[in-house]
Structure 1
């Protein structure tokens, strides 16, 4: 699994764990809802700044986006 897939999977998992829709996450992060969907579908790669912003909204350490499941 490549890093883009890992980030996409973890973003979706963390968002669901917080009970947020893509739209709610995007609103709280101040970004477009479509962008969240594109990240989760691996159509775009998030910048470090974007991962930091999303982690803040999700209340997690940004390193959580790179956690590999075992």
Structure 2
């Protein structure tokens, strides 16, 4: 299974940069880059923090799909 995220889409809707989002959830910008590229699976806490900042649910931002 592969993790697919909608972080970039939600960031764009709210005009938030990767750096701003990273600061809001307490990670480095590179972490957001890796999340958006599907190269990193977030902890539950990070996933919840990102969803909260972006004003949506974890399930809306992160989904698993078959490879």
What is the number of residues matched between the two proteins? 64
Give the one of 18, 23, 29 matched to 1:27. 23
1:15 aligned to which of 11, 14, 25:
11
Q: Which whole-Å CA distance do the structure 2 matches of 1:30 and 1:38 have between them?
A: 15
Question: C-alpha root-mean-square deviation of aligned residues, in Å?
Answer: 1.8
Structure 2 spans left out of the alignment, 5+ residues: none
Contact 1:23 1:33 survives alignment (8 Å): yes
Equivalent-residue separation in structure 1 for 2:30 and 2:9 (angstroms): 17
Q: TM-score, normalised by structure 1?
A: 0.77
More helix as a share of residues:
1
Matches within 5 A, 1:1-70: 2-4=1-3, 6-7=4-5, 10-66=6-62
Shift of 1:27: 0.7
Q: TM (normalized to structure 2)?
A: 0.80
